[in-house]
Amino acid sequence: MQKKGKWRLTVRRDFAAAHQLRHYEGKCERMHGHNFNVEAQVEGDTLTPDTELLIDFKVLKTMLGEILGGLDHCHLNELPQFAEHNPSSENLARYIYHELAARLADTGVSVHSVTVSEKPAQSATYFEE
Ligand SMILES: Nc1nc2c(c(=O)[nH]1)N=C([C@H](O)[C@H](O)COP(=O)(O)OP(=O)(O)OP(=O)(O)O)CN2
Ligand SMILES: [Zn+2]
């Protein structure tokens, strides 16, 4: 039997923000900033009949840009979404994942994962199984 193929698309965007990790025993408890890099991967199995795209990269980048626009140049700890959860890379990735999933509802495309990186050497990826 022939396997059902899928596509996975990746878009990347950046934002700059300050944060401090509550309860962290070390310098990261003090306020500091990062240029966060965000990579979102989406997937699906059906292309549009005319353009034969899973979803336009432009649409994806606009969605991601809207989400990151709410974080850009903010002190993340002061935002309601991080009032109870630390603005760690892990929690940022989960927040962005759910925001993107809500925007993609009814498109036939789902979020595979979101990766947040404070710097090239380290990143956190959120996905759901
Ligand atoms: N699992 C995680 N660990 C850490 C996170 C995180 O989001 N998830 N975040 C931090 C801090 O934000 C910190 O800014 C980064 O820490 P670190 O790279 O350790 O610190 P430096 O920038 O000083 O890098 P060095 O390599 O130590 O010079 C911490 N941990
Ligand atoms: Zn940090």
**C-alpha angle with apex 88: 105 to 80, nearest 5 degrees?**
65
Q: What's the mean pLDDT in 94-100?
A: 98
Q: What's the mean pLDDT in 12-37?
A: 97
Query: With respect to CATH, is domain 7-24+32-126 assigned 3.30.1490.20?
Result: no
Measured between alpha carbons, how far is 127 from 15 in angstroms, rounded to an integer? 21
Domain boundaries, the chain: 7-24+32-126
> Best mutation site among 21, 24, 27 for ligand 1, i.e. most ligand atoms within 8 A of its Cβ?
21
Query: First-to-last CA distance in the chain?
Result: 25
Q: Give the tens place of pLDDT for each residue, 25-38.
A: 999 999 999 999 99
Q: Which is the closest atom of ligand 1 to the Cα of 19?
A: 12
Q: What's the burial of 92, exposed, middle or buried (CB within 10 Å: 0-12/13-18/19+)? A: buried
Pairing of the two strands 122-126 and 32-44: unpaired
Q: Is the pLDDT of residue 1 over 80?
A: no
